[in-house]
Structure 1
Amino acid sequence: MTTPLSSPPLCSDLHDTEAPGGEDRARPAAELAALQRAADAGEAAAAWVRELAGRQSEEEHAGLLERAAEAIVRASGREVVPGSDGLLAEELRYTLAADVVLGASHTTGTRPGLHPGERMPLITVCAIAAALPSCVLGDLAAELTALAAELTTATEAGRLATASGDARVLPVRKPRTLGHEHGDPLDRLAYRRVAESAAESFEIALHYQGGRGEKACAEALHNALAAAGGGIAAAALLRVADDPALGLDLEQWEHLHRIAAELDLRVVEDLGGANGDGAADPARPRPA
């Protein structure tokens, strides 16, 4: 292939190239932007792979992953040479092969320490990086932009699997209900609000039912549960969203918080500290 550039073909390196006839030709802005996106995506992917390398207990596995990270940087940067034959150097093709997930198993007898869900993104990241140089043979700007986006998506999937795997090794926390006696002040604040809303609904319903008989109590209890249900569900959703074992990304976390706010905004505010620190009881509303 054409001799690789000494540095990634970004910005000033590609503003002008020499055409065969000796005429200057400006590199299209779209191609420059695509080259930059590919390089950025490669750097981000390599950073994740280096994190995997840093987690290894076997030096051989760590070394192979480090070399894979460097190969990703090269394949997404200075190996993407407009006007070249689009072929990736053999050493890089070998380094980015799918058996990167096997590490140095032939010498160590073990495989790299990877969390469930990390292997597929790792293979995908390496495969996409290895394909980037071939984009120079087609519509460079469009193809490189598309593959760079897929490389970013694969990296994000890998990071999500890493976060989930890291969370799974944390000590298991015993689930607690809203208003548990050992909860923090904000937890108790939210519980008092839900309890007072339920009590108010119960008293009002019981009053209008005449305050006597099984039917009156059942109706009052129904109203109390309806009043408390939204707040309890909102608190449960917040607990799920904040559980690190799920490894939720920001969009998923925000989605659960939005649903919780729709169920009971005041409880969400209580648990978030927007209504005080929980040191004092909120004023209890009185039934009319």
Structure 2
Amino acid sequence: MHRYDDSAVRAAPHEAEVPDGEDQAQRAAEVAALQRVADAGEAAAAWVRELAGRQCEEDHGRALERVAEASGREIIPGSDGLLTEELRYTLAANVVLGASHTTGTLPELHDGERLALVAVCALAAALPSCALGDLARELNLLAGEPAAATDAGRTVTAAGDARVLPVRKPRPLGHEHGDPLNRLAYRRVAESAAESFEIALNYQGGRGEEACAEALHTALAAAGPGIAAAALLRVADDPALGLDPDQWEHLHRIAAELNLRVVEDLGGSNGDGTTALTQPRPA
């Protein structure tokens, strides 16, 4: 939505007289709620304009531009809370059809963007009716929904854009794979596993088949968390998933809980990977 201009409130008929303290507080609450919704509307409009800019068909682009403008209309206290026929048509669910009646094609939208687009339009169409009730309360309850719909749309957009990029070959931990930081993390895990293997084998008192098997289990247990942590970071950093910041942070947090040193190695916190580890540390 556009920035809210409180002159519209001051000009409303019911504001002809100087309001008392309670009315002033109500007006202030309404202005604050309107601003929250306006900010969310501006963000939604910006995303829809990005969709419009992607269209090869100019008619589809213009149709989405109209949606962006409509989703940014102000809500004015004291209005009748109803949309004009033109706005109702623009914000209807058939927004996902764009200008298909003239082009014979559908807008270029990724899977999932249509649902988010419909949600943005439905909310933009519904919010003006709050003027008929407790405006501040209803807007505050609903203000987060346009932002959530827009965030969902942006997540889908990022994932869809990434899917059209060339597929990247996975980079597992290994001394022959990837950049120096990848090799540094691998050395961390390998040296920890080797140390655990030797210690366990020594406790077994021999090098028989059973002793070696037990030592191998110990080594795998030592290496497992580091390998899993590295894999989680690879998943989190894959743009094809289009993870939002909270999801990305969640995966990084789990990886750090599994093996903080490997996470630090891959992030460069423990050097550039061109020097050997000073000493092996348990993973």
Does residue 1:243 correspond to 2:241, yes or no? no
CA–CA separation in structure 1 for the residues paired with 2:42 and 2:15: 36
For structure 1, which segment, 50-59 or 19-28, has the greater mean C-alpha deviation from structure 2 after superposition? 19-28
Question: Which residues in structure 2 correspond to 1:112-123 (within 5 Å)?
Answer: 112-123=107-118
Residue of structure 2 in register with 1:3 after alignment: none
For structure 1, which segment, 94-103 or 173-182, has the greater mean C-alpha deviation from structure 2 after superposition? 173-182
Q: How many Å apart are 1:91 and its aligned residue?
A: 1.4
Residue of structure 2 in register with 1:91 after alignment: 86
Percent sequence identity is 74
- Number of residue equivalences: 276
2:59–2:99 contact (8 Å) kept in structure 1: yes
Q: How many Å apart are 1:8 and its aligned residue?
A: 5.0
Q: How many Å apart are 1:180 and its aligned residue?
A: 5.0
Question: Which residues in structure 2 correspond to 1:1-288 (within 5 Å)?
Answer: 9-10=4-5, 12-13=6-7, 16-17=10-11, 19-20=13-14, 22-25=16-19, 26=24, 28-74=27-73, 77=74, 80-285=75-280
- AA at the equivalent of 1:184: D
2:49–2:64 contact (8 Å) kept in structure 1: yes
Q: How many Å apart are 1:21 and its aligned residue?
A: 8.7
Q: CA RMSD in A?
A: 1.8
Q: How many Å apart are 1:153 and its aligned residue?
A: 0.9
Which string of whole-angstrom CA distances, capped at 9 and with x for unpartnered residues, describes residues 170-189 of structure 1? 11011121025131000000
- AA at the equivalent of 2:252: H
- SS of the residue aligned with 1:177? coil
CA–CA separation in structure 1 for the residues paired with 2:3 and 2:223: 60
For structure 2, which runs of at least 5 residues remain unmatched after alignment? none
Q: 1:269 to 1:20 in 2, by over 3 A?
A: closer
1:178–1:235 contact (8 Å) kept in structure 2: yes
For structure 1, which segment, 61-70 or 204-213, has the greater mean C-alpha deviation from structure 2 after superposition? 204-213
- AA at the equivalent of 2:48: V
- SS of the residue aligned with 1:34? helix
Q: How many Å apart are 1:231 and its aligned residue?
A: 0.5
Runs of 4+ aligned residues of structure 1 deviating over 3 Å after TM superposition are 7-10, 14-22, 284-287
For structure 1, which runs of at least 5 residues remain unmatched after alignment? 1-6
CA–CA separation in structure 1 for the residues paired with 2:261 and 2:216: 22
Q: 1:109 to 1:212 in 2, by over 3 A?
A: same
- AA at the equivalent of 1:193: R
For structure 1, which segment, 141-150 or 221-230, has the greater mean C-alpha deviation from structure 2 after superposition? 141-150
Q: How many Å apart are 1:84 and its aligned residue?
A: 1.6
- SS of the residue aligned with 1:73? coil
- SS of the residue aligned with 2:176? coil
